[in-house]
């Protein structure tokens, strides 16, 4: 870990707990800062706050009092999920107090370089693939961010000859100042998190922060098939490396003649790739680009792609029951992700969908309903999904209370040779704390059928 004296004796406010806030507070305390942690969950219900208090760190729980800013705060380290409209955050910005996220703190102390990966969809798959390719190629990768361990925990022990592969959200990227990835990857951009960002433009600008500190000695890996990504990448000073599944790219990564190529050299036949879904070829091309830029051999990349079947909750194959195959795609928290999941199958699908209502309709799913024989829906968006299914002329439409009931109903509607797919097209927060909880309930319900 780099020796950072800037925080010694400074008053630092960590706003919001969760894993990232807890890790940031511990790190700042170790660096000699006077740390104040503020979290809305009451102290008596807040195990993390109690642990921090036991280590001599000041904790203020139950609300976000503006008076905290009167204590000569040098920096606010904000939980990514707390919006900038939060009165305490807005007041800090008005006072000119820097508001950063934990990943910025991680970068400041890290001896190891970073690879940053973001996009509306595919981040977790691409980050995991990149890590495994680098590991297979003996490049000493570490994995951090939204996947794996909190970035500032990983950065504390990372060595200069290692590399930190980091999955990054738009929320995290809004709070960076000096964060500077050696390789930045922008996979795609579609309407998502508009309840947080307000507009697609603001959402895109948050994602593009990944590029803002790059120089001509860095690389920007860019999806040539996404117009919004291409527009945002114009702001990058990094060397552009493009990937595409639709066009030949002699200087980039592409799909051509049923094989994947990098800079004109064939890396692997698509028939040898075990990860399902055409959409995953974009993720693979992006990860492959990073691996090749890091000097990984074709043989190492091929070895990973011949064994990698996916990540939990992302088009995850669960089991087969009486000729029905069950897939858990709980991480599909927006329409695009569900479109891609449905595109991965040719056999009849029973779709389980629904969740938090963010104000959007679901007509964009209608063209993908051609092989969906039944919809089982739940959660706040159930009426909207029913409306879209009816527009598509779907006959079997059922509404249930929860995912567990949905599994039973889907099984009753299905027959041998069908796919039963949980791909909600919505966030999980109306009924669950996380999409992982939702996926776990699906898996448990499936196993009860056996």
**Domain presence at residue 5:** no
Nearest by Cα to 425 from 311, 345, 341: 341
pLDDT of amino acid 196: 60
In CATH, what number is assigned to the domain containing residue 61? 3.40.50.720
Domain check: are 354 and 413 in the same one? yes
Nearest by Cα to 215 from 233, 185, 239: 239
pLDDT of amino acid 283: 96
Domain check: are 176 and 268 in the same one? yes
Q: Bridge-partner residues for 353, per DSSP? A: 377
For the chain, the distance separating the N- and C-terminal CA atoms, rounded to the nearest angstrom, is 50
**Was 116 annotated as part of a binding site?**
no
- The two structure tokens encoding residue 404: 């567990």
Assign 3-class secondary structure to the chain: CCCCCCCCCCEEEEECCHHHHHHHHHHHHHCCCEEEEEECCCHHHCHHHHHHHHCCCEEEECCCCHHHHHCCEEEEEECCCCCCCCHHHHHHHHCCCCEECHHHHHHHHCCCCEEEEECCCCHHHHHHHHHHHHHHCCCCEEEEECCCECHHHHHHHCCCCCEEEEECCHHHHCCCCCCCCCEEEECCCCCCCHHHHCCHHHHHHHHHHHHCCCCCCCEEEEECCCHHHHHHHCCCCCEEEEEECCCCCCCCEEEECCEEEECCEEEEEHHHCCCCCCCHHHHHHHHHHHHHHCCCCHHHHHHHHCCCCCCCCCCEEEEEECCEEEEECCCCCCHHHHHHHHHCCCCCEEEEECCCCCCCCCHHHHHHCCCEEEEEECCCCHHHHHHHHHHCCCCEEEECCCHHHHHHHHHHHCCCCCEEEECCCCCCCCCCCCHHHHHHHHHHHHHHHC
Which stretches of the chain score pLDDT less than 70? 191-198
Q: Which residue has the tokens 């990973």?
A: 304
pLDDT of amino acid 167: 95
pLDDT of amino acid 144: 95
**Was 54 annotated as part of a binding site?**
no
Taking the model in full, what pTM does it have? Answer: 0.81
Query: Which one of 44, 67, 100 terminates a domain?
Result: 100
pLDDT of amino acid 197: 54
Domain check: are 118 and 223 in the same one? yes
Domain check: are 83 and 145 in the same one? no
**Domain presence at residue 6:** no
Query: Which one of 282, 305, 328 terminates a domain?
Result: 305
**Was 289 annotated as part of a binding site?**
no
In CATH, what number is assigned to the domain containing residue 409? 3.90.190.20
**Domain presence at residue 3:** no
Beta strand pairing call for 324-328 and 11-15: unpaired
Domain check: are 68 and 145 in the same one? no
Domain check: are 152 and 95 in the same one? no
* Cβ atoms < 10 Å from Cβ of 251: 11
Residue-number span of the structural domain to which 411 is assigned: 316-449
**Was 121 annotated as part of a binding site?**
yes
Domain check: are 287 and 321 in the same one? no
**Was 309 annotated as part of a binding site?**
no
Cβ contact 349:342 at 8 Å: yes
Nearest by Cα to 106 from 37, 13, 180: 180
**Was 124 annotated as part of a binding site?**
yes
Domain tally for the chain?
A: 3
Domain check: are 63 and 116 in the same one? no
Query: Which one of 83, 100, 117 terminates a domain?
Result: 100
- The two structure tokens encoding residue 42: 């009451």
Domain check: are 325 and 389 in the same one? yes
pLDDT of amino acid 250: 95
Domain check: are 62 and 206 in the same one? no
pLDDT of amino acid 198: 65
**Was 439 annotated as part of a binding site?**
no
């Amino acid at each position: 870990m780099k020796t950072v004296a800037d925080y010694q004796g400074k008053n630092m406010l960590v706003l919001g707990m969760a894993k990232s806030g807890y890790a940031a507070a511990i790190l700042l305390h170790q660096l000699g800062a006077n740390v104040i942690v503020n979290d809305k969950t009451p102290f008596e219900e807040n195990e993390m706050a109690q642990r921090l208090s036991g280590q001599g760190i000041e904790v203020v729980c139950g609300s976000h009092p503006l008076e905290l800013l009167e204590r000569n705060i040098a920096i606010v380290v904000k939980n990514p999920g707390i919006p900038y409209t939060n009165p305490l955050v807005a007041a800090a910005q008005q006072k000119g107090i820097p508001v950063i996220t934990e990943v910025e703190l991680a970068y400041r102390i890290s001896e190891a370089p970073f690879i940053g990966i973001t996009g509306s969809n595919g981040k977790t798959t691409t980050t995991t693939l990149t890590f495994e390719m680098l590991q297979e190629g003996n490049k000493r990768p570490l994995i951090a961010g939204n996947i794996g361990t909190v970035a500032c925990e990983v950065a504390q022990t990372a060595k200069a000859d290692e590399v930190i592969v980091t999955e990054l959200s738009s929320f995290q990227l809004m709070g960076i100042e000096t964060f500077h990835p050696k390789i930045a990857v922008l996979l795609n951009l579609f309407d998502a998190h508009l309840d947080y960002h307000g507009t697609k433009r603001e959402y895109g600008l948050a994602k593009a922060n990944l590029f803002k500190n790059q120089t001509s000695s860095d690389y920007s890996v860019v999806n040539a098939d996404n117009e919004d990504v291409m527009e945002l990448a114009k702001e990058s000073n990094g060397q552009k490396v493009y990937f595409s599944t639709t066009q030949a790219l002699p200087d980039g990564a592409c799909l051509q003649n049923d094989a994947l190529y990098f800079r004109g050299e064939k890396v692997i036949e698509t028939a040898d790739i075990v990860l399902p879904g055409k959409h995953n070829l974009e993720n693979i091309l992006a990860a492959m680009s990073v691996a090749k830029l890091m000097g990984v051999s074709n043989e190492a990349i091929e070895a990973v792609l011949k064994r990698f079947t996916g990540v939990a909750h992302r088009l995850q194959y669960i089991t087969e029951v009486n000729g029905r195959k069950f897939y858990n795609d709980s991480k599909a928290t927006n329409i695009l992700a569900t479109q891609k999941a449905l595109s991965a199958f040719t056999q009849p699908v029973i779709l389980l969908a629904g969740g938090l209502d963010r104000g959007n309709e679901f007509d964009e799913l209608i063209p993908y309903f051609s092989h969906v024989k039944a919809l089982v829906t739940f959660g706040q968006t159930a009426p909207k999904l029913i409306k879209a299914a009816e527009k598509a002329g779907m006959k079997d439409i059922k509404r249930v209370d929860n995912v567990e009931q949905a599994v039973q109903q889907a099984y009753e509607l299905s027959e041998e040779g069908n796919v039963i797919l949980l791909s909600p097209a919505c966030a999980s927060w109306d009924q669950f704390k996380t999409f992982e909880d939702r996926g776990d309930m699906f898996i448990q319900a499936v196993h009860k059928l056996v």
